[in-house]
Amino acid sequence: MHIRFSTLGKHLSTRRDGAVMREKIARGIEEKQWIELDFDGVEVISNSFADECFAKLMFDYDLPTVKSSTTFKNASPFIKAVIANSFKERLHTMHMA
């Protein structure tokens, strides 16, 4: 499964868009597909988008499962840092729950 985030634009900021993409990723995980998360053409993502799209996957899946089902492609160091931080922040919230 190949998910192109640039279909949403160069700047990804809304939780709504994040939720749409998360559903696609979740479907791929359930179908045991190998999912390529392609950020070619994407310049910026917001913390909100990253949290909604990626971090909230952890509500339904173990992080090892997410990790073994996906790979990030063409993501800039900035985008990767935002995504990684979203996971860590959400982990912290979940741990404190």
Partner 1 sequence: MSHYTVYINFGEDISHWGLVSLFNEVHEASEGDSMQLTIDFSAESLFVYADHLLVVVIMVQHLRILGVNVKIDILGSSEYASRVNFFHLLEIPYDERFIRQLSRGRFIELLRFDADSMYQLQDDLTMIIHQIGNIAIEVKQLIFYCLIEIMDNVIVHSGKEYGWLAAQVFPNRREIRLVICDNGIGVLESLRSSEKEEFQAIDGAAALEKCLQRGVTDGKGIGFGLYATSEFIRHNKGDLLLYSGSYCLEFSESAVVIRDGANWPGTVVALRIRTDIPVDYKNIMPSHHTLPDDYQFFIDKFFGEDNELW
**Contact positions vs partner 1 (CB under 8 A):** 29-30, 58-65, 67, 70-72, 75, 77, 80-81, 83-85, 87-88, 91, 94-97
Nearer to partner 1, 23 or 62 (CB): 62
CB of 24 to partner 1, least distance (A): 16
Contact by Cβ (8 Å): 15, 54: no
Nearer to partner 1, 7 or 68 (CB): 68
* b/e burial code for range 66-90 (CB count within 10 A of at least 16 → b): beebbeeeebeeebeebbeebbeeb
Which pair of tokens denotes residue 33? 């597909």
Nearer to partner 1, 16 or 93 (CB): 93
